[in-house]
Amino acid sequence: MAAVLAISCDKDNYKYKYKDEGEITGADMRLCPSPCCGGWIIKIKETTYGFDQLSAGSGINLQMAKFPVKVKLDWSIIPGSCGNSRIIISKI
């Protein structure tokens, strides 16, 4: 007797689990003579960070966005950067 096993893959049933949710609040307009200013501001949980760019393929145009922009993202702190206040966004 032969048994047939059918396995299906449904992309809609697969939900990627991001590390956190956040809110991009806008451009960092501070003027200071260090790499700690400029770029964009994001609030994750109760902490505010700066970042320079989104991950490739994000589909978000920060130049045209209406802020705040709620996002789900994977990220990491750039060690030793501006008191650990700058991050890299790896997936959004």
d(CA 19, CA 91): 9
d(CA 28, CA 51): 9
> What is the pTM for the complete model shown?
0.80
DSSP state of 50: E
**Is residue 46 packed enough to be buried (19+ CB in 10 Å), middle (13-18) or exposed (0-12)?**
exposed
How does pLDDT run along the chain (92 residues), one tens digit per residue? 455 544 555 555 678 899 999 999 999 998 887 788 899 999 999 999 999 999 989 999 999 999 999 999 999 999 988 888 999 999 99
Paired residues of 75 in beta bridges: 89
Which pLDDT value is given to residue 31?
85
